[in-house]
Amino acid sequence: MMKMKAENIGLDYGQHTALQNISFQLEGNKIYGLLGRNGAGKTSLLSIVASFQEQTTGTLTVLEQAPFENAEIMQQVVFAYNKDYKEESDQVKNLLAGIAKYRPNFDMEYAQHLLARFKIPQDKKMKQLSKGMQAAVDAVIGLASNAPVTIFDEIYAGMDAPTRTIFYEELLKSQERFPRMILMSTHLVSEMEYLFDEVLILHKGTMILHEAYEELISKGVTVTGRVEDVEVFVQPMRQLNTQQLGGTKAVMVYGDLSEQQYKEAARRGLEIGPIALQDLFIYLTEEGND
């Protein structure tokens, strides 16, 4: 089983601390969502996992080995991100052929299928493609490499909505075909949350949360009903957001509700609904909630 363990990872760039005391353990063929606002440290952390750089402090192991400058482990990790292709004169098909030589699990037939789905002309030079098509090629590389650890760092940037939808569809199909550990970073949560098995949230260079997706979203609810009843019911709770329309109020709260509280809500005629991961993410990473 694929395992990855980070213990007290820190990363400094001169006087700037990008990451501090990052610890987590990942196991199995799951899709992990790494969430964080811009500048939270997502790319810094993923570049350490991909051996693009070494942490300043702490330890990282993949299959109980340190990945940095470890050829055996590095071959099992692919890091897909939006590269700069403005000087790249290789045709798409030649670029993929070159990558396939260094990726033992690369599936060229599957890569061709993906290129067709994304409508990417194989004979065009990379620098001639639009930003969206270049991003799609990066996604093809990540998916078709079939690496046991596959990282997508905000790979959707530049893609339009239909292209992103194709990417999400193919990601799930690919995971079913060739199960692996997938790490996906994003600060755009709403359209991607259904992909995640587990969620990690980075905020200002520290890990503030790591939980199974289903457990995490079950910790928040929306309480809707008459203004007076809602206000009394949510008064002792951790409130995330409030909306009011006329005599009706809806309040998002964070924390598990007891059986007694559910009964109390029913008695007051209040409606209890689910909360979106994006709402939780926004609240947990807001200024003042550190």
Domain 3-211 has CATH 3.40.710.10: no
What b/e readout covers 123-162, taking b as 16+ CB neighbours within 10 angstroms? eeebeebeebbbbbbbbbbbbbbbbbbbbbbbbbebbeee
Q: What CATH number belongs to 218-284?
A: 3.30.70.2020
Q: Which of 11-15, 110-114, 158-162 has the highest mean pLDDT?
A: 110-114
Question: Which one, of 227, 275, 272, lies nearest residue 248 by Cα?
Answer: 227
End-to-end CA distance of the chain: 35
Residues of the chain with CATH 3.40.50.300: 3-211
The C-alpha atoms of residue 92 and residue 132 are separated, in whole angstroms, by: 14
pLDDT of 93: 95
pLDDT of 276: 86
The whole-model pTM stands at 0.90
Flag the least confident range among 145-149, 184-188, 230-234: 184-188
Beta-carbon neighbour count of residue 210 at 10 Å? Answer: 16
Measured at the CA of 85, the angle between CA 82 and CA 86, to 5 degrees, comes to: 130
pLDDT tens-digit series, residues 40-98: 999 999 999 999 999 999 999 998 899 999 888 888 999 999 999 999 999 999 999 99
Contact 29, 179 (CB under 8 A): yes
Residues of the chain with CATH 3.30.70.2020: 218-284
Contact 67, 111 (CB under 8 A): no
As a whole number, the mean pLDDT across the chain is 93
Neighbouring residues of 76: CB distance < 8 A, sequence distance ≥ 6: 62, 63, 147, 148, 149
